[in-house]
Amino acid sequence: MGRSATPLSRGRLPSSRIPVGMLAALTRLLLDTVAPRRCAACDEVSNPSICSRCVAALNALPIPAVRRMRNGSAFAGFEFVEPVRAALHRGKYGGDRGALQELAAITAERLSGPRLFTPDAIVAIPLGPRRRRQRGYNQAAVIAAVIAEARDVPVVDTLARIRDTRPQTARDEATRRDNVAGAFAWTGSPLGGSYLWLVDDVLTTGATAGAAAAVLVQAGASLVDVVAVAAVS
């Protein structure tokens, strides 16, 4: 798919997709005005979302091995260990979008080697509407926007979650696959042989990403690699 011919919109998701008034985001805003900002990873006072000491610690962590998927490969910036886990948790549940953006920027750098070609476009794993309302934003979309900017490719937001799935925590692989079957639908134009990156925050068994990737391939993608901040080994 030639980039000039692509109907895909470029850049970040429109801000209208991020509802205001979300509790965690407001709490964050309130905390920023009355208390000093704290590092999302170590909780020490820090103006950047992740302090320089934690960024150094993050950069010293090993990059996980590439995982084979049905429709491509899965790459992650980190194993799901501390302080990655703490920073992701605050980014996901604590309204700290800056922590997600910092983790995404480091992940993009770590995966910038020759083993991962630049895709035609980037797709974030969508949240169901109920969970996005609860959280105020989709953490995968926040991460995808940063990675897309680093690679200078568009984000496509026409992968839809058509069914809210139960939380994937603590389920075995077969149960996870059943849980996500039929959860996604492609609502955009045909993908015409595109090479896509499917972005999520954490890769666990890969059942969710696998189900979403299958939908993208059905829509015409030729190859879908999964890119996550962290992978549970």
Does the footprint of Zn ion cover residue 22 (CB under 5 A)? no
Q: What is the DSSP string of 134-188?
A: HHSS-HHHHHHHHHHHHHT--EE--EEE-SPPPP-TT--HHHHHHHHTT-EEE-S
Does the footprint of Zn ion cover residue 42 (CB under 5 A)? yes
Distances (CA, A) of 23 to 79, 93, 165: 29, 10, 22
Applying CB under 5 A, which part among 9-17, 37-45, 118-126, 223-231 lies near Zn ion?
Answer: 37-45
Rounded to whole angstroms, how far apart are CA atoms 124 and 83?
A: 23
Contacting Zn ion within 79-108 (CB under 5 A) = none
3-state SS, 22-70, equals CHHHHHHHHHHHHCCCECCCCCCECCCCCCHHHHHHHHHCCCCCCEEEC
Measured from the CB of residue 31, what is the shortest distance to Zn ion in angstroms?
Answer: 16
Measured from the CB of residue 106, what is the shortest distance to Zn ion in angstroms?
Answer: 13
Rounded to whole angstroms, how far apart are CA atoms 36 and 44?
A: 10
Q: Please, which residue, 84 or 227, has the CB nearer to Zn ion?
A: 84
Measured from the CB of residue 83, what is the shortest distance to Zn ion in angstroms?
Answer: 7
Q: Please, which residue, 39 or 76, has the CB nearer to Zn ion?
A: 39
Measured from the CB of residue 54, what is the shortest distance to Zn ion in angstroms?
Answer: 3
Does the footprint of Zn ion cover residue 54 (CB under 5 A)? yes
Residue with tokens 């045909």: 190
Does the footprint of Zn ion cover residue 41 (CB under 5 A)? yes
Does the footprint of Zn ion cover residue 55 (CB under 5 A)? no
Burial class from Cβ neighbours inside 10 Å (0-12, 13-18, 19+) for residue 160 reads: middle
Q: Please, which residue, 39 or 104, has the CB nearer to Zn ion?
A: 39
Measured from the CB of residue 124, what is the shortest distance to Zn ion in angstroms?
Answer: 26
Contacting Zn ion (CB under 5 A), which of 25, 39, 104, 203?
39
Residues that bind Zn ion (CB under 5 A): 39, 41-42, 51, 54
